A = this chain, B = another copy of it.
Amino acid sequence: MEDPTQARGEAAASTNTGVLIVHGADRAGIVAAVTRVLAAHGANIVSLDQYTDDPGGGAFFQRTVFHMNEFFAMRPSLEASLEAELTTLGLQWRLVDRSQPKRVAILTSTSDHCLLDLLWRHRRGEIPMTVPMVISNHTNVAEDVRSFGIPFIHVPSQGPDKSDAESEIVKLLSGNVDAVVLARYMQILSPAFLGDVAVPVINIHHSFLPAFIGAGPYRKAKERGVKLIGATAHYVTEELDEGPIIEQDVVRVTHADSAAGLQRKGAYVEREVLSRAVLAHCEDRVIRNGRETIVFS
């Protein structure tokens, strides 16, 4: 068991703590420029991770966590300086206030393992997020969700035309969330939905992608006789099961595991992988880079 994407010493939500993400074309002096601006505003750097995919002229990525007294008051001045310095260097950046947890809606169907694991970790204060609502096309998890003090909303999804259900979900989410997590939501979302929702959508796929793309991965794994099964958390894109991977893990199986046994074992990998991915996203440790992700530990 390993857990490379889990939070380190960082508190789930911290006052006077900022996260600065910078990326763009690499060139000499970026780290110096960023840290100079931060130092000029009295920031103390708590951690700095930096990555260049090709030192000879590739893409540059930096995540800096810093502590700054009166961060809320200092923020406009800091942003102005970052704009001045980093725009000159042709870089993109965003600044996050760690005292503001992300608002994350969870969509689910009938399975409860990923959903409950997220809600448990959330209740323990381990993930810097709030959960404004859980939406499901079924009702069996309603009571569980409400026992956590979280609104449960039933949006049925029957028949071949999903546009009404999607419209209703978009209406519920619009302006209210910073991210959407599909915790075993067994409906394929349309490109229009992804466009309308306009926030990152994280999915858990119950196989070690790109093996066993599509439906029935445990059955396919059983037929192929694999010795490990896995799960993959990824950002959802218009191409099914092809979005950038955030986290993966596997569990050992044997010939003695039936397809149902694979599904049972797989559920524990799914919940771990999804929870780690959501944690990494909410701590702003994931940067998308085309089909790949940079996940700073």
Chain A residues proximal to chain B, CB less than 8 Å: 1-4, 6-9, 26-33, 35-36, 38-39, 42-53, 55, 67, 112-113, 116, 120, 124, 126, 143-144, 147, 208-212, 223-228, 230, 244-252, 254-258, 260-261, 264-265, 268-269, 272, 289, 291-295, 297
Contact = CB atoms under 8 A, between A and B. Distances in A.
Given A2-B252, A51-B47, A269-B1, A292 B116 contact: no
A113 B124 CA distance: 9
Contact of A50 (B45, B225, B244): B45
Contacts of A210: 211-212, 224, 226
A255 B292 contact: yes
28 contacts: A1-B2, A1-B250, A6-B264, A6-B265, A8-B254, A9-B258, A29-B39, A30-B45, A31-B45, A32-B35, A33-B39, A35-B35, A55-B67, A113-B120, A208-B211, A208-B228, A209-B224, A209-B226, A224-B245, A225-B244, A225-B291, A226-B248, A228-B230, A250-B250, A255-B289, A255-B294, A268-B272, A297-B297
Most buried by B among A7, A32, A112: A32
Contacts of A45: 28, 30-31, 50, 52
A221 to B, nearest CB: 9
B48 A31 contact: yes
A250 B252 CA distance: 10
A141 to B, nearest CB: 12
Nearest to A287: B255
A67 B6 CA distance: 31
Given A6-B265, A44-B55, A45-B52, 6 more contacts: A6-B261, A8-B256, A116-B120, A126-B264, A209-B224, A224-B291
Contact of A256 (B51, B230, B268): B51
B29 A252 contact: no
A188 B211 CA distance: 23
Dominant secondary structure at the A interface: mixed
Given A9-B261, A44-B55, A1 B35 contact: no
A28 B264 CA distance: 29
Contacts of A144: 147
Contacts of A254: 4, 8, 295, 297
Nearest to A264: B126
A265 B297 CA distance: 14
Given A208-B228, A210-B224, A28 B44 contact: yes
B52 A46 contact: yes
